[in-house]
Amino acid sequence: MNLIDKSQTNILVVDDDTSVIASIELLLKQSGYQVTSALNPKEAIAKLADSTNKEAEPIHLVLQDMNFSRSTSGKEGLQLLKDIKSKYRTIPVLLMTAWGSIELAVEGIKCGAKDFLTKPWDNRQLIRTIETCLQLNLSQDPQPTSRRQLDERFDFKAIIGEDPLMLDVLSTISRVATTNAPVLILGESGTGKELIADAIHNNSSRKQNELVKVNLGGMTTSLFESEMFGHVKGAFTDAKFDRLGRFELANEGSIFLDEIGDLDPTSQVKLLRILQDQSFQPVGSSKTRRSNFRVISATNRSLNEMVANNQFREDLLYRINLITIELPPLRKRRGDIGLLAKQHLERVEKLYVLDTITIEDEAIRWLENQPWPGNVRQLTQTIERVILMTASQTLSTGDFVSIAGKDIGRNKHSFDNSSKDAGSEIQAGNMTLDEVEKLMIVKALSAYKKNITKVAEGLGISRSALYRRLEKYGIDL
């Protein structure tokens, strides 16, 4: 874990309000930090210049306001930020501004600021944000780069791959997992974004607490509030008891917001507010609650394009993507296909209690040359279908071509949304892909004696995803 020696860490606070400086200085000193203060940009630049002398105490982070006069344009703050980043590029800068001036803070992020906070600030959130920025600065130190070195220090056992692109992803996780930095995971459908979220949480200081997973796709505004913030008894017609929201369940742990690009504009505002100060009110309650969570988000959509088209809030984007991890599609890491195929074979053998199954080298080469628009998810589903449909203990190229060949080249939309054609080849043309999936779940429930954790692990999905499928197919436990 990145360790900060607070007693040797000096923070420069820049604000024209002496009461603000006094409050923050007291808070930081109580937390163990050294503090230097300045009342205006000129004084701040002078303090930074002095800190470069060998005899002086260096400055490790700047916490600055955006306005230093009656004007609220923020021009002075932006100019100070630009001056700091041009001369002291390695020093992280945090901005402080009023909630109504978040657009100004976003402009500051574009100019090089690390993060922003709104006034009035929450003391705990302020300290956590400072610690995160300092930890991220420490994490720039060299990290292990080979798969063996990474596995010796981190828990990456659920992630299969040795391709350089995947090693870059794992190396990034190794640098940021121990911080509280918000992480945005980007990647096409089926690339394994949920596994990356698991790895971030499992290698963090929060791993003893829960990783709460939420699929935001299609969640309405009314459902968002109740689901995420909880509600009190009597808040609405069907509220027969108090219910904890997902953010409260994630207290001291992490929350994974999947498909965040599908969130409606009204809910985006509500999400931005809770991410800002980690406080919220359950539906029907007037009492404010707090939750100390780390947020991990994911989407297969281009949020930058959505921002340009006014479909996604720019300030929310900057709040969730202090660190961005982009997963490569399977077609760009073909060398991992053989490893993924063999690992999934072992999982299926264990799930159905089968004798050892192998894949011919020629079949592996054939799999490596396919387009895989549905990525890892499509690869694993294809292997499972072929195993179900062939009695052979050694899978050949012919097995894959005859059973799944024409489906592999489909575009992603067809793969994600259509199973009828694929299922038409199974069992005399009367078994769909959904029916195959239901059959696999039923068999897994039997094999693992309805142990949900083991069933989900055996199927390679999360517990929440398994529960959704049980409901979808009407399977009773």
Of the candidates 328, 347, 374, which is a domain's last residue? 328
Starting at the edge strand found earlier in the chain, the sheet holding 115-119 runs: 34-38, 10-14, 61-65, 93-98, 115-119
Confidence label for 427 from pLDDT (cuts 50, 70 and 90)? very low
Handedness of CA 53, 56, 57, 59 (dihedral sign): negative
Same domain, 314 and 426: no
Mean pLDDT over 326-353 rounds to 92
Q: What is residue 247's predicted lDDT score, i.e. its pLDDT? A: 97
Q: What is residue 2's predicted lDDT score, i.e. its pLDDT? A: 53
pLDDT at 411 over 50: no
pLDDT at 303 over 90: yes
Same domain, 87 and 171: no
pLDDT at 444 over 60: yes
Residue among 252, 268, 271 at smallest CA distance from 207: 252
Same domain, 242 and 379: no
| Long-range Cβ contact pairs of 379-384 (< 8 A, separation 24 or more) | 379/330, 379/337, 379/340, 379/341, 379/344, 380/340, 380/344, 380/460, 381/433, 382/407, 382/408, 383/341, 383/344, 383/345, 383/348, 384/344, 384/348, 384/436, 384/440
Higher pLDDT residue, 449 or 53?
53
Range(s) of the domain holding residue 26: 6-138
Environment class of residue 214 by beta-carbon count within 10 Å: exposed (0-12), middle (13-18) or buried (19+)? buried
Domain assignment present for 223: yes
Q: What is residue 362's predicted lDDT score, i.e. its pLDDT? A: 95
pLDDT at 420 over 60: no
Number of independent structural domains in the chain: 3
Same domain, 163 and 265: yes
What predicted TM-score, i.e. pTM, was given to this entire model?
Answer: 0.80
Residue type, 278: Q
Confidence label for 268 from pLDDT (cuts 50, 70 and 90)? very high
Domain assignment present for 397: yes
Q: What is residue 429's predicted lDDT score, i.e. its pLDDT? A: 44
The pLDDT mean for the chain works out to: 88
d(CA 351, CA 321): 37
d(CA 360, CA 342): 11
Q: Considering only CA atoms, give the Rg of the chain.
A: 26
pLDDT at 317 over 90: yes
Kindly list the distances between the CA atom of residue 90 and the CA atoms of 36, 38, 362, in Å, as whole numbers in the listed order: 18, 20, 51
Same domain, 82 and 114: yes
Same domain, 346 and 410: yes
Q: Best-predicted range by mean pLDDT among 169-173, 215-219, 408-412?
A: 169-173
Same domain, 410 and 466: yes
d(CA 407, CA 452): 31
Q: What is the pLDDT of residues 126-156, one digit of tens each?
A: 999 999 999 888 776 566 678 999 999 999 9
Residues 6+ apart with CB under 8 A from 210: 249, 250, 253, 254
pLDDT at 237 over 90: no
**Collapsed DSSP state (helix, strand, coil) of residue 75:** helix
Same domain, 86 and 192: no
pLDDT at 196 over 80: yes
Domain assignment present for 1: no
Of the candidates 97, 120, 138, which is a domain's last residue? 138
Q: What is residue 414's predicted lDDT score, i.e. its pLDDT? A: 45
Same domain, 323 and 335: no
Q: What is the CATH number of the domain that holds 179?
A: 3.40.50.300
Q: What is residue 3's predicted lDDT score, i.e. its pLDDT? A: 63
Same domain, 99 and 161: no
Confidence label for 211 from pLDDT (cuts 50, 70 and 90)? very high
Q: What is residue 1's predicted lDDT score, i.e. its pLDDT? A: 44
Handedness of CA 186, 191, 197, 203 (dihedral sign): negative
d(CA 397, CA 368): 11
Same domain, 126 and 253: no
pLDDT at 97 over 60: yes
Q: What is the CATH number of the domain that holds 429?
A: 1.10.8.60
Q: What number of other Cβ atoms are within 10 A of residue 308's Cβ?
A: 11
d(CA 158, CA 101): 43
Same domain, 266 and 314: yes
Of the candidates 113, 138, 163, which is a domain's last residue? 138
